[in-house]
Amino acid sequence: MAELQAQRGNLRDRMKLAASILAGQAKAEEEAPKKETVFENIKKQQYLKVFSFLEQVQLDPLPDHYKLAWEYLNGGNNTLRAAVDRKLDTNGRLSSETVAEILDECEGQMKVQDLNALVAESEALLAGGFKTLSKSGKESMAYAEALQTRLDWMRELDPAEQADMPIEAQFKALLKITTQMMQSTKKASESLDESTKKLSQMRSRLDEANDKAQRDQLTGLPNRWAFEQQFSAATIRAKERFEPLSVAFIDIDHFKQVNDTHGHEAGDRVLQLVAKTLDGFTRGNCHLARHGGEEFVIVLENTTTAEAKKQIDAVREDLAERSLVNKENGEPIGRITFSAGVAPFIPGEANRQVLRNADAALYEAKNTGRNQVLIYNGG
């Protein structure tokens, strides 16, 4: 532990030294300006901001920490910026675990750009395949026309001229045309086979990237980005079918205490257990996702809020009956409970408002004793 603290101290000292060097350079240049491009000056100021931010939030200058700081200060990811602001408002600082959680939470949106690039590449391959087919078709037509011309010419010869042209010469002429066409067709076929192979690989990569972009790495559940797509589709179906639709937010009670007492690895296992337990109760008309941190969200199609409360209560009671133990050291973790808030989807009401209503019901459940499921009362 002492060695680790010393290493962190060295890292922070280096960070402060780098910041002071850059600051000193900037000050010296103000006193005796040198020729420097506007871009170089802006870049230097950005580095200074990153160093200052890391020191302010008590983070060591590690790659992931630097990545988050750079994105927060200079990037355009509004979701990441909002997530950092929420953590800072709550705790006043950031931890390595928080950084990993925020980066993981925002990873889905970042990967959307990669997916778009894969789609564009796939479309280009398809266009190339169609172009190859078109070229092959045109060459086949040219071959047929050349062959027909040759045959027509041979038919128009009078018997004397045909007698003067040996059969061997006639066959050689036709064979030459046929050989050229076969070579051209073979090249087109090979090119098309290669395009088809690349397209198949591209589709596999696209499916894999799409799945990763929609999955939470820790629990394996759909992430917030995937949930928003599912929720939007579910509201459309509910309106078309005139069916009830409910949304529930679920939050693990005293989860921070589990992390602080037993460590983040134990906390991760608790998250996985709750995710598995919730996933076990969901049916075909339920869509479960990890919404971030220790919070989960469920969309229940063709389900009233009373029915949704009953189903979630059954899971809550099942989970609360278990007594968990930290497998790393054998220490008891105790019971794990959660609170939940349920709200109905009302046609004409914005999707965001439905989520806010469910969140308000969850907030009430947390503030009035925890370990319970409450339905939004419209207050």
Query: Could you report the per-residue pLDDT of 310-335, keeping only the tens digit for each?
Result: 999 999 999 999 888 888 788 888 99
Residues 25-83: tens digit of each pLDDT: 545 445 444 555 555 565 566 667 777 888 888 887 777 788 788 888 877 677 788 88
Query: Looking at per-residue confidence, does 90 or 238 come out higher?
Result: 238
Separation CA 120–CA 14 (nearest Å): 44
Q: Which two tokens stand for residue 98?
A: 């928080």
* Whether pLDDT at 251 is above 50: yes
342 Cβ contact list (under 8 Å, min separation 6) = 246, 247, 248, 305, 308, 309, 312, 358, 361, 373, 374, 375, 376
Helix (H) or strand (E) holding 346: none
Widest CA span of the chain, in angstroms? 112
Torsion of CA 72, 75, 76, 82, to 10 degrees: -10
Is residue 307 very low, low, confident or very high in pLDDT (cuts 50, 70, 90)? very high
* Whether pLDDT at 235 is above 70: yes
* Whether pLDDT at 293 is above 60: yes
Query: For residue 258, with 0-12 CB atoms within 10 Å meaning exposed, 13-18 middle and 19 or more buried, which class applies?
Result: buried
Q: Which runs of E-coded beta strand occur in 308-371?
A: 324-325, 332-334, 338-344
Residues with a catalytic annotation lie at 294
- Beta strand 245-252 with 295-301 is antiparallel
The residue whose two tokens read 């962190």 is 8
CA 217-245-83 angle, to 5 degrees, is: 35
Mean pLDDT over 186-203 rounds to 67
For residue 276, the number of C-alpha atoms closer than 13 Å in the C-beta half-sphere is: 7
* Whether pLDDT at 219 is above 80: yes
Mean pLDDT over 338-349 rounds to 94
Sign of CA dihedral 43, 48, 53, 55: positive
In the chain, the percentage of residues whose pLDDT exceeds 70 is 60
How many angstroms separate the Cα of 368 from the Cα of each of 220, 310, 341, 374, 379? 31, 19, 12, 10, 15
Looking at residue 21, what is its pLDDT?
46
Mean pLDDT over 170-191 rounds to 61
Mean pLDDT over 293-316 rounds to 95
Is residue 364 very low, low, confident or very high in pLDDT (cuts 50, 70, 90)? very high
> Three-class SS of residue 251?
strand
Separation CA 271–CA 305 (nearest Å): 25
Give the count of beta carbons closer than 10 Å to the beta carbon of residue 164: 10
Mean pLDDT over 146-158 rounds to 59
Looking at residue 158, what is its pLDDT?
58
Is residue 375 very low, low, confident or very high in pLDDT (cuts 50, 70, 90)? very high
Looking at residue 300, what is its pLDDT?
96
Query: Looking at per-residue confidence, does 128 or 344 come out higher?
Result: 344
Looking at residue 212, what is its pLDDT?
72
> Three-class SS of residue 286?
strand
Q: Which two tokens stand for residue 23?
A: 């600051």
Residues 174-184: tens digit of each pLDDT: 556 556 666 66
* Whether pLDDT at 99 is above 50: yes
Query: Looking at per-residue confidence, does 114 or 199 come out higher?
Result: 199
Mean pLDDT over 281-295 rounds to 87
Identify the weakest region by mean pLDDT among 151-155, 184-188, 262-266, 328-332: 151-155
Separation CA 171–CA 181 (nearest Å): 15
Q: Which of 95-99, 182-186, 217-221 has the highest mean pLDDT?
A: 217-221
Mean pLDDT of the chain: 76
N- to C-terminal Cα separation, the chain: 51
Is residue 305 very low, low, confident or very high in pLDDT (cuts 50, 70, 90)? very high
If we measure between CA atoms, which residue out of 77, 66, 53 comes closest to residue 99? 66
Looking at residue 145, what is its pLDDT?
60
Give the count of beta carbons closer than 10 Å to the beta carbon of residue 30: 8
* Whether pLDDT at 2 is above 60: no
Cα 304 vs. chain centroid, distance in angstroms?
A: 31
Identify the weakest region by mean pLDDT among 203-207, 258-262, 290-294, 340-344: 203-207
Is residue 171 within 8 Å of 151, Cβ to Cβ?
no
Mean pLDDT over 329-352 rounds to 92
The residue whose two tokens read 């596999």 is 204
* Whether pLDDT at 10 is above 90: no
Query: Looking at per-residue confidence, does 229 or 158 come out higher?
Result: 229
Looking at residue 56, what is its pLDDT?
85
Separation CA 364–CA 343 (nearest Å): 13
Mean pLDDT over 270-291 rounds to 89
